Amino acid sequence: MLEVLVVDDHDLFRAGVVCLLGEAEGIKVSGEADSGEEALRQVRARRPDVVLMDIHMPGMGGLEATRRLAGREELRVIGLSMHGEQPFPQRMIEAGAWGYVTKHCPGRELLEAVHRVGRGERFLSQRVAVQVAWSAGSEHSHLARPLEKLSQRELQIMFMATQGFRVCDIAERLHLSPKTIGTYRHRLLRKLGLRNDVELTHFALRHGLLENHAP
Kindly indicate the confidence band of residue 160, based on its pLDDT and cuts at 50, 70 and 90. confident
Give the whole-angstrom CA distance, residue 4 versus residue 49: 6
Whether residue 8 is predicted with pLDDT greater than 90 in this model: the reply is yes
Q: Per-residue pLDDT averaged across 136-141, rounded? A: 45
Q: Per-residue pLDDT averaged across 132-150, rounded? A: 55
Phi, psi of 3 (to 5 degrees): -100, 130
Give the whole-angstrom CA distance, residue 132 versus residue 89: 7
Neighbours of 101 (CB within 10 A): 25
Looking at residue 210, what is its pLDDT?
A: 55
Q: Per-residue pLDDT averaged across 205-209, rounded? A: 64
- As beta bridge partners, residue 53 has 7, 79
% residues pLDDT > 90 (the chain):
46
Looking at residue 213, what is its pLDDT?
A: 42
Looking at residue 174, what is its pLDDT?
A: 76
**HEC letters along 12-45:** HHHHHHHHHHHCCCCEEEEEEECCHHHHHHHHHH
Q: Are 161 and 173 in contact (CB under 8 A)?
A: no
User: What is the Cβ-side half-sphere exposure of residue 45, based on CA atoms within 13 angstroms?
Assistant: 11
Q: Per-residue pLDDT averaged across 164-183, rounded? A: 87
Whether residue 180 is predicted with pLDDT greater than 60 in this model: the reply is yes
Question: Does the model's pTM come out above 0.85?
Answer: no
Among 56-60, 64-68, 167-171, the minimum mean pLDDT is found in 56-60
Of 55, 58, 60, 3, nearest to 32 by C-alpha is 3
| Bond into 87 cis (ω within 30) | yes
Q: Per-residue pLDDT averaged across 116-145, rounded? A: 66
Whether residue 7 is predicted with pLDDT greater than 60 in this model: the reply is yes
Q: Per-residue pLDDT averaged across 6-35, rounded? A: 95
Give the whole-angstrom CA distance, residue 2 versus residue 49: 6
Tell me the pLDDT of the chain averaged across its residues. 84
User: What pairing do the DSSP bridges indicate for beta strands 2-7 and 76-81?
Assistant: unpaired
**What is the set of domains in the chain, with CATH numbers?**
2-124 (3.40.50.2300), 140-206 (1.10.10.10)
Looking at residue 142, what is its pLDDT?
A: 47
What would the pLDDT profile of 23-46 be if each residue is shown by its tens digit? 999 999 999 999 999 999 999 999
Residue 215 vs residues 46, 138, 211: alpha-carbon distances, Å: 41, 25, 12
